[in-house]
Amino acid sequence: MAAYLQWRRFVFFDREVVKEPPGPEGSAGKPFALPPGVTVCDSGRGSLVFGDIRGEIWFLPRSLQLTSFQAYKLRVTHLYQLKQHSILVSVGEDEEGINPLVKVWNLEKRDGGNPLCTRIFPAIPGNKPTVVSCLTVHENLNFMAIGFADGSVVLTKGDITRDRHSKTQILHEGSYPVTGLAFRQSGKTTHLFVVTTENIQSYLLSVKDYPHLELDTHGCGLRCSSLSDPSQDLQFIVAGNECVYLYQPDERGPCFAFEGQKLIVHWYRGYLIIVSKDRKTSPKSEFAGNEAQNSDKQVLNIYDLCNKFIAYSSIFDDIVDVLAEWGSLYVLTRDGKIHVLQEKDTQTKLEMLFRKNLFEMAINLAKSHHLDSDGLSEIFRQYGDHLYNKGNHDGAIQQYIRTIGKLEPSYVIRKFLDAQRIHNLTAYLQTLHLQSLANADHTTLLLNCYTKLKDSSKLEEFIKTSESEVRFDVETAIKVLRQAGYYSHAVYLAEKHAHHEWYLKIQLEDIKNYQEALHYIGKLPFDQAESNMKRYGKILMHHVPNETTELLKILCTDYQPSGDNEGLGLLEGKKANSEEFIPIFANNSRELKAFLEHMTEVQSDSPQGVYDTLLELRLQNWAHEQDKQIKEKLHNEALTLLKSGRFKTVFDKALVLCQMHNFKDGVLYLYEQGKLFQQIMHYHMQNEQYKKVIEVCELYGDQEACLWEQALGYFARKEEDCKEYIAAVLKHIENKNLMPPLLVVQTLAHNSTATLSVIKDYLVNKLQKQSCQIKQDEQRILKYREETTRIRQEIEELKASPKIFQKTKCSICTSALELPSVHFLCGHSFHQHCFESYSDSDSECPTCMPENRKVMDMIRAQEQKRDLHDQFQHQLKCSNDGFSVVADYFGRGVFNKLTLITDLPPGKPPASLEAGLHRELLLHGRRGT
């Protein structure tokens, strides 16, 4: 029960007396006067409605132009103006006695200038003469209830404006006068509250037989009940002399201890209006004015039940009724005056509360008036400022928290930056984050507050927020936690929100947990695992070399994130470039060798850099190894790698590596693969390996004949006794006719130890061969001369002597010749038909034609090759006997058109030409290969 004396009083309404409008009959400023004899009144549809003791009904619009019509012959006792329809229901008397009539008026229709009366019926329950005590009509025009002084209630159901469409019945009978009626509509459910002087009941009209429930065993007087609006859940208000009770259709609600004899009760816009008698000391002068000395006055109080305060209180003389229309309250007094109570606007009311520092009440008032969020936020801010100035920082921060989303956070933060108020600042920042309105700076500040307070539990609670919604900038939080030394919390955030770079940076640089960092990289998707291994690979290799090497092996072959069973096979064929990770092993040669060997074994198409690095590594290990057995093993491994065929495109690089490490077998192998036979021989020459020099000549001399010449020159320059090797070289030069004898003699002249006995056999054999060749050439010359002489004789005979054909047989079929026959000068004869069958030409002998064609082809070939000087030069260089090539071309007539000595440039003697030709022939003979 709320005590009336504890409620604060305010003046939220302005009181004025209604003045007459300016006009020809009335003067402006004079109080408006009601017609005398007004007994009942109501309001709605833009007018105040009055009924008087003469049976007239008056209408007062906002323009204050009174109009009336005669509704009854005697008097009007009750009026009910519907709010949603232009329907007015009245109860009055047309003749003396207890015979009240109910009339329903349609104010929008006229009958002779007056409103149309659509229905008239007597208001007597069961033909029992009794007085009407109260009247109410449902806004849907389907229900009308009339209460009587004998305790009866008559319910009219149906269209209340027509007799034919409605039915009237007695709903309630009792022994106590009915003092109040009210319809309550909730959805499709309709209730009727009935209050008498001794009890309160509710009837359910939506169900057949109209079941009812008694709510209380005390009642109220006439006009002391009303129905609240939806803000109070449409409760039925009953005002007794001690308390005011609120009722639901099925139970009693709260009650309020408002003392005093209640005369009138109304509900207006969330306010409860009570007019009561107060025989005690009158209120303060600000409410009573000049009438405060009279103690027998009527007091009008306007209560705000939600916010528990009195919005207005004032004293009036003999109030007839209180009406609400045009957004104001109108108080009618018995002296005919109308007093208007105009509610102040919300902002004015709030300012009044602010001046009295009643911020809580201002907040409740603003909420009940549905003030927008910006207005509420401003109240919270002012309340917070008030509490802050009073030193109540805890209370102030609670109010500032309610401004989040409207008030700039920096306004609050600046007030609580002091170290002693860090708890309040923390609370504000926490709420700011919970509402997802914090920026990176706010996150930084909140985390710094946690760290300053060393509140690990709150810190963990903050960072372990709901996974579905992160209310702070994660990266900022990680930075702040790392800076404050809360590495475990920073790592948790980085891992949870997949900030891989921050996670690894903290693990490697701060916590030094290399094993965990490596394990984390192994769980990342391929692209991120690859990039992070390139970034942190050197650090990991330095501290956990074996594990890092294993991860790199997997990353470069067939990588699958560890623990990712669902994604198996999705990344098949996705692998890193192993060559890019070689710099990671800068100081870990053992792990590098294992990595490279693994890559070459499982991935034969590894990048060339892998093989190059592995070769260099094996050569280094071989060069620095002291143990012979191990050195031999390393030697074989390096040579096997060279022979794998992976260095064809980088031949020069591999050769340089072998030369740098003095890997002889590798160098020789590469020389051989590159067909650098002269380099092989020079390598053996530099190492003075004479037998190897001879072996190289024997192996590759056929492919590069100059090797023997270089070998002869090499041995000729040696001062040691190399007769055995010189003899072997000379023997091969002699067999292949690689050098002219004169050049051989000139070459060996440089060796002081080479005596004539060394080349004796060579010279003797050479001279003998030349002698044999001369004899053969002389015999061939003699034979050619004889053949030439014979041919010339035949030519002369053919020119000068007749030719006698004595052949008796055909040269083709060998049968006896018969005419016709064909004879040729060569001596062959043919049957004509045999000649025509076998001959391709009429002018050629079929028997001699094959041999003649050979000769003609040779002649044509010689003529075609007369200008082929490039081919001549090539054959001259490549032939073992250059002189024979020159002779062959002389025979073809290539040099027939050459300019002779007589055409030499002036000043050059013929002798020099002969000497030059001789030297050129010697050189060509020496180089010919």
DSSP letters for 874-890: HHHHH-S-HHHHHHHHH
Nearest-angstrom CA–CA distance, 300 and 287: 10
219, 200 contact by CB (below 8 A):
yes
The whole-number pLDDT of residue 921 equals 42
User: Band of the pLDDT at 667, cuts 50, 70, 90?
Assistant: low
Decide which of 83 and 806 is more confident: 83
What is the pLDDT averaged over residues 402-411?
A: 84
262, 274 contact by CB (below 8 A):
yes
At residue 71's C-alpha, the angle toward residues 65 and 74, to 5°, is 115
Q: Of 712, 760, 772, nearest to 736 (Cα)? A: 712
Judged against a pLDDT cut of 60, whether residue 924 lies above it is answered with no
Decide which of 194 and 844 is more confident: 194
Give per-residue pLDDT as tens, 759-803: 666 667 777 777 888 888 888 888 888 888 888 887 887 778 777
Decide which of 99 and 568 is more confident: 99
The amino acid at 343: E
What is the pLDDT averaged over residues 226-250?
A: 91
The whole-number pLDDT of residue 655 equals 67
Give per-residue pLDDT as tens, 105-154: 999 998 888 999 999 998 887 778 889 999 999 999 999 999 999 999 99
Give per-residue pLDDT as tens, 471-499: 667 777 788 888 777 777 878 888 777 78
**Which residue do the tokens 């069958």 mark?**
837
Nearest-angstrom CA–CA distance, 738 and 707: 10
Give per-residue pLDDT as tens, 146-177: 999 999 999 999 999 988 878 889 998 888 99
DSSP state of 19: B
The whole-number pLDDT of residue 216 equals 92
Nearest-angstrom CA–CA distance, 279 and 298: 9
Count of beta carbons in the 10 Å neighbourhood of residue 184: 21
Give the burial string for 391-417 (b: 16+ CB within 10 Å, else e): eebebbbbbbbbbbeebebeebbebbe
The amino acid at 811: S
Q: Of 798, 794, 826, 829, nearest to 811 (Cα)? A: 829
User: Band of the pLDDT at 571, cuts 50, 70, 90?
Assistant: very low
Give per-residue pLDDT as tens, 259-284: 888 999 999 988 999 999 866 544 44
Domains and CATH numbers, the chain: 1-22+29-36+258-280+296-343 (2.40.10.480), 675-754 (no CATH)
What percent of the chain is helix, strand and coil (3-state, nearest 5)? 45, 20, 35
Nearest-angstrom CA–CA distance, 432 and 439: 9
The whole-number pLDDT of residue 292 equals 39
Query: What separation, in Å, do the N-terminal and C-terminal C-alpha atoms of the chain show?
Result: 131
Name residue 114's beta-bridge partners: 111
pTM above 0.75, yes or no: no
Going by C-beta distance under 8 Å and a sequence separation of 6 or more, which residues neighbour residue 239? 220, 224, 225, 245, 258, 262, 265, 274
The whole-number pLDDT of residue 299 equals 92
Long-range contacts of the stretch 864-868 (C-beta < 8 A, 24+): 865/889, 865/892, 865/894, 866/892, 866/893, 866/894, 866/896, 866/897, 868/894
> Token digits for 480?
């702040």
User: Band of the pLDDT at 4, cuts 50, 70, 90?
Assistant: very low
